[in-house]
Amino acid sequence: MQTTKTHVALLASPGMGHLIPVLELGKRFATQNDFQVTIFVVATDTSTVQSQLRNLPNPHLFNIVSLPPVDISALLDADASIVIKIIFMMRESLPALRSSISTLKPRPTALFADLFGTEAFQIADEFEMLKYVYIASNAWFLAATIYFPTIDKRLQEEHYGRKQPLMIPGCRSVRFQDTLDAFTDPKDQLFDEYLRIGLEMVTADGILVNTWEDLEPTTLASLRDGISKLLPIYPIGPMVRTMGSSHMSENSSLLEWLDMQPTESVIYVSFGSGGTLSANQMIEVAWGLELSQQRFIWVVRPPMDNDVSGSFFKVGDGSSDGTPDYLPDGFLTRNAKMGLVVPDWAPQAEILGHASVGGFLSHCGWNSTLESIVNGVPLIVWPLYAEQKMNATMLAEELGVAVRPNEMPTENLVKREEIEMMVRRILVDKEGQALRSRVKELKHSAKKASTKGGSSYNALSQVAKQCEMSLQGLMAKVMG
């Protein structure tokens, strides 16, 4: 009978979209497996991250270690992409991670690093820890990332040079217009970093992915048949925040307003933790919502031209007073009865879980996508950056739970008439009902996967078992 608790360490890269699924995984290890959990967070000074960490609903479940901030300004141009900045911050944090792990008692038996943390595997090796990648996205994204570095240079060139689809054996291919930014320019530093990440991933003891068997059966089967024959893949999702994740006192008026609206009548509009629209696009969204004559909650932040992820490290800095000057004159007054405009940050898990919400216009970050699915809310897809275009295609074309604009919002201005029409398609038209019943099926399959005996529950138990066995092995070694 084992008496010492198994201790695992999780490493989250900067950004709310990365931190949230890691916190959920930590919570699951603590509650489902009774593990001791240490979560390493690479520090950023965004007020949202800090306030989330201060206000965790279950702080006793794990130990959070904020690694000291690193200065990457001398290493990169100021206009380097957000992903490159994250990669460099992770790299520069490795010495602090190493020294912090060396002080932990008992020493963790495993390290779970997200996509941008795979360089920390060298530290896991030094301390004889198991090492896992935690892909806080879906299996299709995992397949693209792990497969790309292994293919012939000529096939890579077909994709980025001749804009041909990226064929992934056994999986849906990735159209060039949906592809990852990292796969578009071999001269960009990001291209090489992604190749490195893909190669490092296969050195892990296993890969956890935030999806579930019934959501992506074909992709998971082909991953297992192909590239990952020797590398176990564990679909453990959906790992999502649920109601009760936010401190509601600040948001009680918002929920009171929702309480007064008819069932499934409100469209929630949000572009994630960092998504930003251009000034002209903000105006079109505002008019589209107004013309639709439907109820809405819209999380706004100041527009930025030519930077779709411009708010990634800036969330929480905006003003919270008055009508933002980037919205059409009189917008708030004209729409006072029909909608709410929330500056910067809203309690998304609570909003999507509210019965009055009937649709989500989303940038399709994977957390937002899952939060919509587990609440049975159909989507209007509005992908901006990272793997969001792939997610949008999956939602609209494969899963059948979303409508999409005719052209990519990153390529062309989506006009107010089209926005008005998409909102009505989701909230008013028969089409919306069909999408809603499909997404509710997915909601049930998600629930089934996560409950005791379900595929994701079992997959996480298998990972936990490996960690426990490793601990027993280490203890046996110490006892001689």
Kindly state whether residue 141 participates in binding ligand UDP, applying the rule CB under 6 A. Answer: no
CA 282 to each of CA 115, 275, 286, 334: distance values in angstroms, whole numbers, following the listed order: 31, 12, 6, 17
Given a contact cutoff of 8 angstroms between Cβ atoms, the answer to whether 226 and 201 are in contact is: no
Token pair listed for 346:
């809203």
Kindly state whether residue 22 participates in binding ligand UDP, applying the rule CB under 6 A. Answer: no
In the numeric block, the tokens 């996205």 are attached to 137
Residue nearest to ligand UDP (CB): 17
Token pair listed for 5:
């608790």
| For ligand UDP, the closer CB: 109 or 276 | 276
CA triplet 21, 24, 25: central angle to 5 degrees?
90
List 34, 45, 60, 114, catalytic entry: 114
Out of 138, 219, 222, 270, the residue judged to bind ligand UDP by CB under 6 A: 270
Binding mask 322-361 for ligand UDP (x = CB under 6 A): -----------------------xx-xx------------
- Please state, in angstroms and rounded to a whole number, the distance separating the CA atoms of residues 230 and 462: 16
Token pair listed for 101:
């792990």
As measured in angstroms, the least distance from the Cβ of 17 to ligand UDP is 2
Point out which residues pair with 8 in neighbouring strands: 37, 110
- Please state, in angstroms and rounded to a whole number, the distance separating the CA atoms of residues 250 and 48: 14
| For ligand UDP, the closer CB: 287 or 366 | 366
Calculate the CA 90 to chain-centre distance. Answer: 18
Backbone angles phi, psi at 300, to 5 degrees: -110, 150
| For ligand UDP, the closer CB: 179 or 367 | 367
As measured in angstroms, the least distance from the Cβ of 36 to ligand UDP is 25
Annotated active-site residue 18? The verdict is yes
Helix axes 455-479, 430-450, angle to 10 degrees: 30
| For ligand UDP, the closer CB: 65 or 269 | 269
Out of 14, 237, 238, 274, the residue judged to bind ligand UDP by CB under 6 A: 274
Question: Which among 4, 56, 52 has a CA at the least distance from the CA of 27?
Answer: 56
Segment lying near ligand UDP (by CB under 6 A), choices 109-117, 212-220, 268-276, 436-444? 268-276
Kindly state whether residue 272 participates in binding ligand UDP, applying the rule CB under 6 A. Answer: yes
Out of 267, 299, 374, 426, the residue judged to bind ligand UDP by CB under 6 A: 299
Kindly state whether residue 17 participates in binding ligand UDP, applying the rule CB under 6 A. Answer: yes
Subset of 361-390 contacting ligand UDP (CB under 6 A): 365-368, 371
As measured in angstroms, the least distance from the Cβ of 315 to ligand UDP is 8
As measured in angstroms, the least distance from the Cβ of 16 to ligand UDP is 5
Annotated active-site residue 152? The verdict is no
- Please state, in angstroms and rounded to a whole number, the distance separating the CA atoms of residues 273 and 255: 20
- Please state, in angstroms and rounded to a whole number, the distance separating the CA atoms of residues 476 and 459: 26
As measured in angstroms, the least distance from the Cβ of 328 to ligand UDP is 22
Given a contact cutoff of 8 angstroms between Cβ atoms, the answer to whether 184 and 190 are in contact is: no
Kindly state whether residue 16 participates in binding ligand UDP, applying the rule CB under 6 A. Answer: yes
| For ligand UDP, the closer CB: 138 or 273 | 273
As measured in angstroms, the least distance from the Cβ of 87 to ligand UDP is 15
H or E segment and range at residue 130 = strand 130-135
Given a contact cutoff of 8 angstroms between Cβ atoms, the answer to whether 49 and 312 are in contact is: no
Contacts with ligand UDP, residue ranges (CB under 6 A)? 15-17, 20, 241, 270, 272-274, 299, 345-346, 348-349, 365-368, 371
Active site residues: 18, 114
